[in-house]
Chain A
C-alpha cells in the first residue's frame, strides 16, 4: 500500500495504517531526536510524541508533500522545546561533558576506532549553534536531499545550501581548534 493510501487511512483514524508509517520512519525520527538531545531516553520520549502529535495533526498535513521531512520537522521542534525545558543544571552538566572530548583509543580495532572518531566529530558538531547542528544532522546524518532538508527545517532550499556552507566553515574551525586529533587523523 502506498504512503498516500496509508496516510488517507490514518486520517480516518486507522491506527494500523499509522503504525505502518511509524515503522517506516521511527528510526529516522528517533535518531534525529537522539542527535539533538544526546540522550536515548529523551529521544525515545520525543519520538513517541512526534508520532502521536502527527497522527492528530494529519488533517493539517499537505498530503502532496512527503511525510518524512514533516515528521523530522516536528521532531526538531519538539526536541528544541524539550531541551529548553531540561533546566539550567542539566544544561550545565551537558556543557561540562562537552568540554572534554573523548580521547581516541591508541590501538583499538578499526570498527571501534571509526566509532570513536564519529563520536568525537559529533561532539564537535554539538559545539555549533542549534541551527547549524540541525542542518548538518538533516543533510549528512539523515542523508536528506537539499529539498527534503528544506522541508524539514522549514526553510528555502537555497537557505539550506548557504546555511550548510556556513555551518561547515564553523565546524572546520571548531575541529581545528578543539579537536586536533580528528584533524590529524584526516590529514594523516
Chain B
C-alpha cells in the first residue's frame, strides 16, 4: 500500500492543512446581525416587562405592608422597642412567655422583655432603699454625679439613692416644697450595664438634648428594673426625658413640659 512506502513530512501536512483551510467550501454566512438584534430587542422587552412586573409586585407588597402597619399589633411586632442608653422603651406589652432579660444584659441585647413573674411594686421613689448622702453616692460610682443649674432656685437634691440596676444607678430627688411626701423632680443617672425598661408609655416622641437624640415619654406606664437580685416595677405617671452623655444615661422625671425638661437637661453640670 502507498501509505506504507510514502511518508509525509511535518511541513507537508501543515501545507495540506493550510491549503484545505483556504479551499474548504463553507456555507454562506447567515444573517446573524439581524437575528441577534431581533433577539436582543425581544430580550430587552422581556426584561422590561419583567421589571415592570417586579415594580408592580414591589408596590403591592409595600401597599400590603403599609396596610398591616396600621394594625397596632402588627406595628408593635415590627417596631418592638426603642433603646436609648441603658433604657429600653417597649412599644408593646411583653408576652408572658418571653424570657426575662439577664440582669447584666447589654443594653443593645435583643428585646426580650417580660420580667420575672412577681415583681416587687414600688409606689413611690421615696420607698427606695439605698438612701445616702450625695458625697457617699459619689464615692461609690465611677462617673461624676451631675446637678442641674436650672431652675436657679432648685438647690441641691433633698434625697439621694444609690441603686444596683445591673449597674450603678444614682437617683437624685427634689421634693415638693409644700408637700414633703411628694416628689417634685427626680434625676436618674444610670451607669454602664444598667438596664431599665419602660412598657408602653402613653406618649413617646423623639427630641434632642444638646443636639443629640433624646426621648420624651408621658405616663402612665410601668418602669421595670432589677434591683440587686429582684425585679422591681413602678408605675410612672409623670413625664420623663431620657438622654445620654458618654456612658451615662440620664432620666429626668417630673410634671414639667418637654421644653422645661430639656432646659433642665441642658443645664446639668
Say if the beta carbon of A59 comes within 8 Å of chain B.
no
B residues 1-18 near A (Cβ < 8 Å) are 1-3, 6-8, 10, 12-18
Q: How far, in angstroms, from A55 to B41 measured CA to CA in the complex?
A: 12
Residues of B within 8 A of A43 (CB): 27
- Determine whether the beta carbon of B18 is less than 8 Å from that of A18: no
Which chain A residue lies CB-closest to B36? A51
Count of chain A to chain B residue pairs whose CB atoms are closer than 8 Å in the complex? 112
Tell me the minimal C-beta distance from B6 to chain A in angstroms. Answer: 5
- Determine whether the beta carbon of A121 is less than 8 Å from that of B16: yes
Residues of B within 8 A of A15 (CB): 37, 40-41
Q: Tell which of A19-27, A60-68, A91-99, A148-156 binds the partner.
A: A19-27
Say if the beta carbon of A187 comes within 8 Å of chain B.
yes
Say if the beta carbon of A4 comes within 8 Å of chain B.
no
Say if the beta carbon of B24 comes within 8 Å of chain A.
yes
Best-surrounded residue of B1, B2, B22, B36 (most CB of chain A within 10 A): B36
Q: Is the interface of A mostly helix, strand, loop or mixed?
A: helix
Tell me the minimal C-beta distance from B186 to chain A in angstroms. Answer: 63
- Determine whether the beta carbon of A30 is less than 8 Å from that of B29: yes
Q: Is the interface of B mostly helix, strand, loop or mixed?
A: helix
A140-B12 contact given A22-B32, A30-B30, A52-B36, CB 8 Å threshold? no
Residues of B within 8 A of A26 (CB): 29, 32-33
Residues of B within 8 A of A183 (CB): 2-3, 6, 8
A19-B36 contact given A140-B17, A183-B3, CB 8 Å threshold? yes
Say if the beta carbon of A168 comes within 8 Å of chain B.
yes
Residues of A within 8 A of B26 (CB): 30-31, 34
Q: Which chain A residues have a beta carbon within 8 Å of chain B's beta carbons?
A: 13, 15, 18-19, 22-23, 26-27, 29-31, 34, 40, 43-44, 47-48, 51-52, 55, 114-115, 117-119, 121-122, 125, 136, 140-141, 143, 168-169, 171-172, 175-177, 180, 182-184, 186-187
Q: Which chain B residues have a beta carbon within 8 Å of chain A's beta carbons?
A: 1-3, 6-8, 10, 12-27, 29-30, 32-33, 35-37, 39-41, 43-44
8 pairs from A and B in contact (CB 8 Å cutoff)? A23-B33, A29-B32, A48-B36, A115-B25, A118-B23, A141-B24, A175-B8, A183-B8
10 more A-B contacts (CB under 8 A) besides A22-B32, A140-B14, A141-B17?
A34-B27, A47-B30, A47-B32, A48-B32, A51-B32, A115-B25, A121-B20, A125-B17, A140-B17, A180-B3
The 6 closest A-B pairs by CB, nearest first: A121-B20, A118-B20, A118-B23, A40-B27, A114-B23, A118-B24
